[in-house]
Chains A and B, each alone.
Chain A
Amino acid sequence: MDTVSIKIPASPVYLQVVRLVAAGLATRLRFTIDEIEDLKIAVDEMSAYFTGATGREGSIDVRFTLHEGSIEIAGTGRLAPGEKLRTDLTELSRMILETVTDSASLEQTDGTPTFSLVKSKAQ
């Protein structure tokens, strides 16, 4: 089980890097273009909760774990105290994530927001 970790500033500007890493790793797993596009949408959808539309003070740790035929992406928000964010998925987000991932969740433990998602390739 290989893992890759990156840390980005909590700004939408750097989500491209996360998308590219996700796409690169999914390519290793022989995901199709459709599946890669789904994965990118999931990354954007989840990360948006941490970065907001214009960015927040702090950073985000993103860990990618490669399984047999699936990829797991876990994000942890290291945001400055006082940055308030939503910790429940909206109806729309839930629906989007249900469509593009196998599973996805957004949580908050001891004030630290985390997300996790898993996407498998079709058999």
Chain B
Amino acid sequence: MNERATLSKDEVRSLFEAYRAADPVDQLSFRARLVEQHIGLVEFLARRFRNRGEPLEDLVQVGTIGLLKAIERFDLEREVEFSPYATPTIVGELKRHFRDKGWAVRVPRRLQELHLELTKVVGHLGQDLGRSPTVAEIAHTMNTTEETVLEGLEIAQAYNFTSLDAPIDTDEGGTTSFADQLGEDDEHLENLEYRASLAPEMAKLPERERRILYLRFFKGLTQSEIADKLEISQMHVSRLLNRTLATLRHALEEE
């Protein structure tokens, strides 16, 4: 039996009933089947949000969170179909993602696309060359002018700016110390020095931002090296770093 075969309305309903009735261990597999059954809907909705500067896979992931919420909230008592019920929840999740993480200021599509392409080209060229590329090399690869590349690099700063005021990541709920997240080569002493000079503003930063700050200014890694280490793009590192520094400057101002 092909598991991806589309179920009828009644079959979806039965699946929901089985999911609700199952004990916690079995619930997971029923839920997985419900997700699988509706992932096409998520993909369809996510596709409406592409070209906004985020990879489709990421959007599908965000949409899936919406789908999971809809699965939890779906009321079998009401005589409605699941797909129409889930659609606004999935779209809502995607919109929220863009509101929280997206372009803070309205950036023209041309520049958003330029930014996306730049992110890719900088990454690829960096790997090919074994060093950070020059603007001329990037312009040549992209078949564009140096001015356009510079414009694209600068516009990166507009991205993701709203989350500047976002609360600190405490997903684990625990008290993960920054030291725990550092590599083994990070000496205790360095860490002390680090804390002394930057506290207390540092304490308010999300872990990843603190880590980038540490790697750049205490360990002396370049943005490209940090990008490799954290498996994100150099432009993303640049963005996070600039945002973090802006936050710290503001914090000083308020002293």
Contacts and interface: CB of A to CB of B under 8 A. Distances in A.
Interface of A: 16, 19-20, 23-24, 27, 30-38, 40-41, 44-45, 48, 52-53, 90-92, 95-96, 99
A96 B201 CA distance: 15
B242 A23 contact: no
A96 B217 contact: yes
Interface residues of B, number: 36
A51 to B, nearest CB: 10
Identify the 10 closest CB pairs spanning chains A and B, nearest first. Answer: A34-B132, A32-B132, A27-B135, A91-B197, A53-B253, A34-B222, A33-B132, A48-B249, A99-B217, A37-B238
Interface of B: 122, 126, 131-136, 138, 146-147, 150-151, 153-154, 157, 197-198, 216-218, 220, 222-224, 234, 238, 241-242, 245-246, 248-250, 252-253
Contacts of A36: 135, 153
Contacts of A40: 242
A20 B216 contact: no
Q: Do most interface residues of chain B lie in helix, strand or loop, or is the interface mixed?
A: helix
A32 B131 CA distance: 8
B96 to A, nearest CB: 28
A95 B238 CA distance: 17
B105 to A, nearest CB: 12
Contact of A32 (B133, B246, B249, B250): B133
Given A44-B242, A52-B253, A30 B134 contact: yes
A120 B191 CA distance: 29
Contacts of B157: 16
Nearest to B252: A90
B217 A95 contact: yes
Contacts of A19: 154
B234 A34 contact: yes
Nearest to B118: A33
B136 A27 contact: yes
B135 A33 contact: yes
A24 B148 CA distance: 11
B245 A33 contact: no
A23 B152 CA distance: 12
A99 B216 CA distance: 8
A99 B220 contact: yes
A31 B134 contact: yes
